[in-house]
Amino acid sequence: MLNSVFNFKFIRFAVVLTLAGALGACATPPLNDPEARAAYEEANDPFEPANRLVFSVNVMVDQLVLQPTAVTYRDLVPDGVKQLVRNFFTNLFMPLSAIHSLLQGDLDRAGQAAERFLTAVPTLLLANTMPEEDPVFEDADQTMAVWGFDAGPYVMLPILGPSSVRGTVGTIADFFIDPVSFVLGSDASIGRAVGNAVETRSRNLEQVRDLQKNSVDYYAAVRSLYRQQREDQVRNGASEPMQPAPTIGLDLDDPRAVIGETASGH
Amino acid sequence: MRYLPAIGLALAFIVSVPTADADSHTEASAQFINTLAERAITTIADSELSVEERRAKFRDLFREGFAVGGIARFVLGRYWRTASVTERDEYLKLFEDVIVSTWADRFSQYSGQKFEVNGAHPVPSVNDGENVALVESRFLVDPTTPVRIEWRVASRGDLFMIVDVSVEGISMANTQRDEFNSFIRKSGGKVSALLDELRSRAGS
């Protein structure tokens, strides 16, 4: 959630805490029920009990601190100013995006990210100088994905939110890679991360409330959304023909198909 | 000035894509989505409707445009096989009820929004006698944030049905499937536990 830049000591603390918790509470794979075992393997979440615990704390922190702050921000700050704030955080991300686009061998997107940043410098990074193009967001997690590393098991980081083993490594790596965090120093970097979180949260208040209200398993819904969103970002939004749901057919829904095939089919 | 070529390119893309994919079922799929979305925006999103009226209209469109049974079966995942015939029947009904109530309510916020189909391409089908197309579209919730929506449309002859919808790369069917499977697994692998949960939600 809070992207890439964060106080390193804090991250180290968070990682140690998560791993300690995870080792203490690994899910035991169901041995005798083949369906449950297959579902367990598909979820790829061996730290699930620890992750769920961290998740419930994160949800609580969100409800107590982040969400109210984001609501205040949304209601009190004029739309024009909000746009500038959003531009500012986006522009601050561009140096890191440019570096990772290069590491992924994507010169076009590296150029786009660099251009967005450089053209915004005279406006103190407040303007969106390339409004007709989507900003390039690339980070170490995506670079490692492009290089062929699997995401590994799901990891729920304290405060930082959903991640994976690869994502956690990426978050730490980006702290050292991002030139902006060197310029800002650690205090300003924390400020940036907090501001970024409030700004992002203020744009998805309804969606999160909707998801919380309508999911039968909120934790699993967030896990699924996180993974699919990351995969989409790795593909830079290109469609993946065999994903999603390639196997859904019309046999249960074709009114001309043989009657009696319905619920007992397959 | 440097934006002009990009804008020109974008316009050319929007105008030329439906004809570039001359494949007839692909083009028909794009047309199918366009018509269905127009109808949804004009009828379901009408702010004058009562909750019940909106749900009824949504249910009609949902049954007509979506492969509800196929989606429901996919979403139940491996537990479809372990469910009894009675459980399957009740599940199919509850699944439809829950989708209708959640999405009809969501649609109430979409009155008068802009929607545009900007391309379609065929994708491999794993089911005999069926063609599948991915229809790409943009939905403008507000003028500055277009939402990227992909519709997976399966067709058999002149029967067209949506089998999945992806919003910003996130498949609704996959998300629902992961969620239901996790819920059932947590409940000791019992499909009946999910049915209890859905029953309480469908009633609300």
Q: Chains A and B: how many Cβ contacts under 8 Å?
A: 163
Say what percent of chain A tops pLDDT 70.
Answer: 82
Integer-rounded Cα Rg, in Å, for chain B is: 19
Q: Which residue has the higher pLDDT, A33 or B186?
A: B186
Longest CA–CA separation in chain B, Å: 65
Domain that includes residue A184, residue range:
2-28+46-234
B43 to chain A nearest CA, in Å? 22
| Cβ-Cβ contacts under 8 Å, B6 against chain A | 132-133
Chain B residues whose CB is inside 8 A of the A250 CB are 67, 70, 127, 130, 154, 156, 159, 161, 163
**Of the ranges A59-68, A218-227, B117-126, which one carries the lowest mean pLDDT score?**
B117-126
Please report, for chain B, the start and end positions of each structural domain, with discontinuous segments joined by +: 5-202
Q: What is the per-residue pLDDT across B153-180, written as a single tens digit (0 to 9) for each? A: 999 988 999 999 999 999 999 999 999 9
Cβ–Cβ below 8 Å for A248 and B106: no
Q: What is the mean pLDDT of chain A?
A: 86
Q: Is B134 helix (H, G, I), strand (E, B) or coil?
A: strand
Angstrom distance (rounded) from CA A234 to CA A227: 11
- The pLDDT assigned to A43 comes to 84
The more confidently predicted of residues B3 and A213 is: A213
B133, B153 in Cβ contact below 8 A?
yes
Q: Do B164 and A248 touch (CB under 8 A)?
A: yes
Q: Which range has the top average pLDDT, A5-14, A31-40, A107-116, B14-23?
A: A107-116
Q: Looking at beta carbons, which residues of chain A come within 8 Å of B154? A: 248-250
Distance CA(A184)–CA(A188), nearest Å, equals 5
Task: Look at residue A52 and tell me if it is in a domain.
Answer: yes
Q: Is residue A119 part of a domain?
A: yes
- The answer to whether the beta carbons of residues B12 and A138 sit under 8 Å apart is no
CB-based contact, A86 to chain B, within 8 Å: no
Section B13-25 average pLDDT:
51
pLDDT of amino acid A88: 97
Token couple for A185: 């120093």
The answer as to whether A239 is a domain residue is no
Q: What is the pLDDT of residues B30-88, one digit of tens each?
A: 999 999 988 888 777 777 888 888 889 999 999 999 999 999 999 998 899 999 999 99
Q: Range with the lowest mean pLDDT among A118-127, A206-215, B104-113?
A: B104-113
Contacts of A40 in chain B (CB under 8 A): 185
A17 in a structural domain = yes
Residue A244 falls inside a structural domain: no
Q: Which fold has domain B5-202?
A: Nuclear Transport Factor 2; Chain: A, (3.10.450)
What tens digit of pLDDT does each residue of A146-175 get? 999 999 999 999 999 999 999 999 999 999
Total tally of structural domains belonging to chain A: 1
pLDDT tens readout for residues A61-97: 999 999 999 999 999 999 999 999 999 999 999 999 9
Q: Collect all residues with Cβ–Cβ distance below 8 Å to B122 and sequence separation of at least 6.
A: B21, B23, B25, B26, B131, B132, B133, B134
- Residue B81 to residue B83: CA distance in whole angstroms: 6
Contact A239/B at CB under 8 A? yes
Determine the pLDDT at residue A31: 64
